[in-house]
Amino acid sequence: MGYLYIIGTILFTVYGQLMLKWRIEKFGSLPPGAIDKVFFLLQLLLDPFILSGFFSAFTASIFWMGAMTKFDISYAYPFMSLSFVLVFLLSVFLFQEPVTVQKVVGLSFIVIGIIITSQSL
């Protein structure tokens, strides 16, 4: 059951990040003027999809609290790095972001680190 808390944390974190990226991309760039920036940011804050991203981050925190009741933080926290991997993979498919050798190598190191760390329980 403890791993479900970690998985929930990761999935809700990833959803929130992707939702924010998707909606902010739809709204466009931050305008140059100070007043325009304030209105732009308020418009973002009132967007239901962005609100769902914030709610998702809150839900991820609740799952994380559950994970902390089951695992040492030094064991559980490296699993959070899987969110980097999932965000990368999904951003390639959803946003057509580029895949580079450096990103693949970096993510490979993250996965290797998770595997090594997970052996410590």
Give the model's confidence band at 46: pLDDT under 50 very low, under 70 low, under 90 confident, else very high: very high
State both tokens at 100. Answer: 């580079």
Indicate the number of domains in the chain.
Answer: 1
Q: What's the whole-model pTM score?
A: 0.86
At residue 73, φ and ψ (nearest 5 deg) are -65, -35
- Taking only the tens place, the pLDDT of each residue in 20-43 is 999 999 998 989 999 999 999 999
> Do the Cβ atoms of 12 and 45 come closer than 8 Å?
no
Contact 25, 95 (CB under 8 A): yes
Which residue range is the domain that position 58 belongs to?
2-118
Give the pLDDT confidence score for residue 3 in this predicted structure.
93
Model confidence band, residue 118 (pLDDT cutoffs 50, 70, 90): confident
